[in-house]
Chain A
């Protein structure tokens, strides 16, 4: 049977729908087998080295780049926190970060899509638990880190590998049940 152009065009929607339908079937199949979980939006970075980046510091302070971060983490595992002054959950986790910082846990902060002066105002108000602060004004570095919304918190081990990740604000529970055990395991 010869197909002319009209017939091929008319087949196009069927082929398109068929491909999508087949993929959905594969997904459902693998979901029920427990091999596929679209809801797990864990960071793709966990288990990988810190991506290459370099950011200027806030207010003339020292910035953060791959080399300084891995060098610092080689001495003691680091906590890296992405935040912004416009973000409410960030303000909510500020107390908890303050406690962690006061305990001497090395905590570096990256300001995400924010202006230096609003970030400074935010730190004046909610306290500054970070030993070092860098500015990611355009959010480019955040993309490399796989950050899809602030706040997000990462733990970097001595080899410069991302070991743990949490998107959304830290809570007392998540610090006790996840962050502290993760820090202990890489100490």
Chain B
């Protein structure tokens, strides 16, 4: 009964989203006040319907209703409760439902928080969101329905992919999808603006918080995925340039560009057409990223059910959405008023430089990811493009971007001179040179330079804060008072930029990491990068739905006991699949990372990594997202909305 209600709720959501699309766009076109006033209600209704559908699926999973095909294929009675719930979005059908749910959440958020928008614009934005929603909910209902029944039901489900049974991955999809789907709102704003044929500074101000929220979630989502790959796959790496990873990186790159170019629209009423294109492009990459990986075109270690027939449906949908918005762009963009010219050395010039580099990196990633299937199709050649290509092409493009990002925020708008600005950041540059020089002793040149770059970015990012608070030049109390008066956006930007520096330090450190593979008998001690590792014991353990082989490693350094590590190998009985449970001991400066490999003739293969500064990679991403969140708190993002501003004061 409950799954049928879920199915009904899903169908209802399709109807509501269709109504939202038609009434929203048509009503705004007719300037019909009643129709425009109805759209927010429809969006909220759609959200409630999808919440009910998602709730029904969770109910079926928690109650082990194996008459629902989706539950029978992906769950089992042995699964812990948490994974029964999170497992609902760990498969194709459920993840599409989650996708639609988050899109509806965005629509509801625009309805509730968009009170300060002009009615026609809000109506059109909701209309575009409704149309997008309608397409994907139809896809869920017709080709990927999670509520389909089977009869007779089985007694036991076949369980989910063991790799997904992990707390990190349980919450990875909702966060990543919120990032992906969130960019639907800037997309809807862009399409609505193209329909209206008008973009002004206010548009930039409305778009930016939505882009920023999505960007924060996407940053966290990508970092979480990379962290998961690091500790769960047991390969010791954190980024593999796998198509699925690249697919999440593309919207992140263009989204980062969008967050920056929207500032120029807001402050200088310039770069409008480009910003609109970025908004369309970012959501297009998000869509392609979520859906093309399921069509089976891209060869990836991340497996989703591949089905060319489903692929055709998705492709038609993408053609309609992306193609439609780009046709609108081609027709309307040339008619938008162009912005004024501006000097290359200025804040807006720096932001354009940022956009050029980010988009070039994105283009390189697109080429590298798409080349293998295209070469196969057009030239009949089987090739794979791997990490060496990406490292060789992305790195040289990222370096100037990193070098410039500390100075960019220091440049004044309109017209600036570089030299006085660099003088403001002299202490950061000095520190960077000192760190590089210090690191170059006993280190390879690239990591040494990377550490210098990281110092430059972290310190340089705060140069504006230091400058504006007159730190060290006035009494501390006065600086603190000035700091309080700083706009949150300035602090947020400094923090987000510093986060990049922290991540770079992590990447540089990781490139210095060591890896030792040894095979050892129980009781044997082996040497690994200055540590003495003793294999104390190998024992079997039983988990709820797996059996586990656990090694006890006793690690000493120069005779001083350091730690006990318990790497293990899990065998999931239902799926007959093995996963490696990495043992990681971290002190935030380096990770001791141990993997238990296969056993032959009483000898166990052990892999032992010392990953220098590895936690900083994800810590940096967290700092970036935090910076974005602080920037969101800036009340200037809500200027022009007196009602909202008063609310913010009383809150």
Contacts and interface: CB of A to CB of B under 8 A. Distances in A.
Interface of A: 4, 6-7, 9-11, 13-14, 17-18, 20-21, 23-32, 36, 38-44, 86, 88, 91-92, 95, 125, 146, 148-149
Given A31-B308, A44-B382, A92-B597, A7 B330 contact: yes
B308 A21 contact: no
Interface stretch (B259-267, B321-329, B408-416, B534-542): B321-329
A148 B384 contact: yes
Given A41-B382, A86-B517, A18 B374 contact: no
Contact of B315 (A7, A9, A11, A28): A28
B344 interface: no
A87 B330 CA distance: 51
B330 A14 contact: yes
B308 A18 contact: no
Q: Which of B281, B329, B515: most chain A Cβ within 10 A?
A: B329
A17 B322 contact: yes
A31 B330 contact: no
Given A31-B308, A91-B517, A13 B281 contact: yes
Contact of A38 (B297, B315, B318, B323): B297
Interface of B: 273, 277, 280-281, 284, 292, 295-299, 308-309, 311-312, 315, 318-319, 322-323, 326-327, 329-331, 333-334, 370, 372-374, 376-378, 381-384, 386, 515, 517, 519, 597-598, 600, 605, 607
B277 A27 contact: no
B373 A27 contact: yes
Given A14-B323, A17-B326, A148-B384, A92 B605 contact: yes
Q: Which of A6, A40, A149: most chain B Cβ within 10 A?
A: A6
A14 B296 contact: no
A44 B381 contact: yes
A138 to B, nearest CB: 11
A148 B385 CA distance: 9
B319 A21 contact: yes
Nearest to A6: B334
A46 to B, nearest CB: 10
B376 A38 contact: yes
Nearest to A33: B308
A14 B326 contact: yes
A125 B330 CA distance: 65
B323 A18 contact: yes
Nearest to B518: A125
A64 B300 CA distance: 34
A24 B315 contact: yes
A28 B311 contact: yes
B517 A88 contact: yes
| Interface majority SS (helix, strand, loop, mixed), chain B | helix
20 contacts: A6-B333, A7-B330, A10-B331, A13-B330, A14-B327, A14-B330, A21-B318, A24-B297, A24-B315, A28-B315, A31-B311, A32-B309, A39-B299, A41-B382, A44-B381, A44-B383, A91-B605, A92-B598, A95-B600, A146-B382
Nearest to B385: A148
Given A24-B297, A28-B295, A38-B299, A10 B334 contact: yes
Given A18-B323, A41-B299, A36 B376 contact: yes
B517 A27 contact: no
| Interface majority SS (helix, strand, loop, mixed), chain A | helix
Given A21-B318, A92-B605, A27 B327 contact: no
Contact of B329 (A13, A31, A32, A86): A13
Q: Which of A32, A125, A146: most chain B Cβ within 10 A?
A: A32
Given A17-B323, A41-B299, A27 B377 contact: yes
Contact of A42 (B309, B315, B318, B382): B382
B626 to A, nearest CB: 33
A91 B599 CA distance: 11
Contact of B377 (A7, A11, A23, A40): A23
Contacts of B273: 10
A33 to B, nearest CB: 9
B334 A88 contact: no
A21 B321 CA distance: 12
Contacts of B330: 7, 10-11, 13-14
The 3 closest A-B pairs by CB, nearest first: A32-B308, A14-B326, A6-B334
B377 A36 contact: yes
A22 to B, nearest CB: 9
Given A14-B329, A41-B382, A31 B377 contact: no
B599 to A, nearest CB: 10
Contacts of B329: 10, 13-14
Contacts of A20: 370
A88 B277 contact: no
Contacts of B382: 40-44, 146
Contacts of B277: 13
Contacts of A26: 377
Contact of A24 (B292, B323, B600): B292
A68 B605 CA distance: 35
Given A38-B298, A43-B382, 16 more contacts: A6-B333, A11-B330, A20-B370, A21-B315, A21-B323, A24-B297, A25-B312, A30-B377, A36-B376, A38-B296, A38-B372, A44-B381, A44-B382, A86-B515, A86-B517, A91-B605
A37 to B, nearest CB: 9
A41 B384 CA distance: 8
A25 B317 CA distance: 12
B12 to A, nearest CB: 31
Contacts of A36: 376-377
A34 B515 CA distance: 42
A88 B609 CA distance: 13
Nearest to A87: B517
B299 A23 contact: no
A150 to B, nearest CB: 13
B377 A28 contact: no
A3 B378 CA distance: 31
A187 to B, nearest CB: 28
A25 B292 CA distance: 11
B519 A91 contact: yes
Contacts of B374: 23
Contacts of B309: 32
